[in-house]
Amino acid sequence: MEKNQQQDIIKLIDNIKVGNSKISLLENNILLLPINIKPAAITIILQKNPSLELDYQEIIKKCETILSKKLPAKKINIILTAHDKNDRKLKNIDKIILVASGKGGVGKSTITANLAYVAAQSGLRIGIIDADIYGPSIHHLFDIKSDKPSLSDDKKIIPPMKYGIKIMSIGSMVEEGKAIIWRGPMLGKALNNLFYGTDWQELDILFVDMPPGTGDTYITMAKNFPIHSSIIVSTPQKLALIDVERSVDIFTKTNIKITGIIENMAYLTDDNGKTKNYIFGSGNVEQFSKENNIEYLGCLPIEAKLSANSDHGKFSIEDNKTAYQLCKNILNKFNH
Ligand code: ADP
């Protein structure tokens, strides 16, 4: 069924008319397969063919028109990935790194915050965007709840800073507790505002704390911004990995490099720290990494201090040597 649908869609959009001539998207390596077909949506990835001068906006429009007409019940997402991502590099931001997981509550925000903290402590210029529109928590983690951003002379938002980290959150732009039901274009606009409407000045790394799941934010991110790479966070349970697999899938389809997976809450140590209890099981994340050819970056235990410090917007290398070392190793992978 799925295979037939692929073929049907390919038939519809291959050989479309661009300018005065017909062009095969498949033969010219513009249409990437497989097409992602979901009951409610179809996501099509196109890439530029460097040896052909084409109007890609026209191609996108044509595909959209044809598909929405033939498949009116489905949302049509068309993503154009750049061949050379450096073409799209932002002038003032060296690397944009996404921290993602399939599931909420696995420690994604905690790990983003710790990575940013360790990077800033070692002298790097760091920013964070909390893109988790459904449960923004970075501003809580850094205890910057009441800091309202101010405006620069050229009307850009001056981001609040903590530990030298510039922090922007969708959470600081909306009233606390309000249910946010933003989709597609609105979400894209909000994210654009966070990226381009913020006075970041120069940054070595901008971390983006992604929402759980594989929804609109992922597609918007891949479409609009030059992403350097992504880090995936998982807990040890097999169930968590089912969701992680979906994140891997969308990163692969949107051509976003995966640096590796961090296993969080991997074990509990007894009081003197000598015995490790793998209460959620062990080995699943490592096995998943091997099977999917993704690097296993290491693990963090369940640590009361990590959680308590996060609750109070407090970070300390002394209190958390395991997290510090893991973050340091990961940052080395980005040559920092
Ligand atoms: P996510 O961003 O994936 O939703 P959070 O980072 O908000 O997850 O973490 C969820 C909760 O788990 C928070 O209360 C956080 O302090 C706690 N937590 C995260 N990692 C650990 C850990 N290694 N040990 C103990 N508590 C943790």
Q: In a mutational test of the pocket of ligand 1, which residue from 235, 303, 307 has the highest number of ligand atoms less than 8 Å from its CB?
A: 307
What is the reported pLDDT for 86? Answer: 41
What is the reported pLDDT for 2? Answer: 55
Could you tell me the pLDDT band of residue 289, with boundaries at 50, 70 and 90? Answer: very high
Kindly state if the Cβ of 235 falls inside 6 Å of ligand 1: no
CA of 232 to the centre of ligand 1 (A): 14
Our count of domains for the chain comes to 2
Instruction: Say how far residue 223 (Cα) sits from the centre of its chain.
Output: 12
Last residue within a domain, chosen from 57, 83, 109: 83
For residues 78 and 95, membership in a common domain is answered with: no
For residues 9 and 130, membership in a common domain is answered with: no
Alpha-carbon dihedral sign for residues 162, 165, 171, 175: positive
For residues 95 and 218, membership in a common domain is answered with: yes
For residues 209 and 164, membership in a common domain is answered with: yes
Full domain range(s) for residue 56: 2-83
Kindly state if the Cβ of 300 falls inside 6 Å of ligand 1: yes
**3-class state of residue 142 by DSSP:** coil
For residues 13 and 130, membership in a common domain is answered with: no
Give the CATH number, domain containing residue 19.
3.30.300.130
Global model pTM greater than 0.85: no
Tokens read off for 87? 């073409």
Last residue within a domain, chosen from 49, 65, 83: 83
For residues 221 and 157, membership in a common domain is answered with: yes
Tokens read off for 197? 């409407």
What is the reported pLDDT for 315? Answer: 84
Closest residue (by CA) to atom 12 of ligand 1? Answer: 107
CA of 311 to the centre of ligand 1 (A): 10
Closest residue (by CA) to atom 15 of ligand 1? Answer: 307
For residues 185 and 307, membership in a common domain is answered with: yes
Could you tell me the pLDDT band of residue 21, with boundaries at 50, 70 and 90? Answer: confident
Could you tell me the pLDDT band of residue 182, with boundaries at 50, 70 and 90? Answer: low
For residues 64 and 203, membership in a common domain is answered with: no
For residues 158 and 281, membership in a common domain is answered with: yes
d(CA 260, CA 20): 45
What is the reported pLDDT for 85? Answer: 43
Q: In a mutational test of the pocket of ligand 1, which residue from 98, 103, 110, 312 has the highest number of ligand atoms less than 8 Å from its CB?
A: 110
Kindly state if the Cβ of 109 falls inside 6 Å of ligand 1: yes
Closest ligand 1 atom, CA of 307? 16
Closest residue (by CA) to atom 10 of ligand 1? Answer: 105
Last residue within a domain, chosen from 53, 83, 113: 83
For residues 118 and 71, membership in a common domain is answered with: no
Could you tell me the pLDDT band of residue 177, with boundaries at 50, 70 and 90? Answer: low
pLDDT digits (tens, 9 = 90+) for 125-144: 999 999 887 777 888 889 88
Give the CATH number, domain containing residue 201.
3.40.50.300
For residues 36 and 66, membership in a common domain is answered with: yes
Over range 59-67, report the average pLDDT: 95
For residues 57 and 91, membership in a common domain is answered with: no
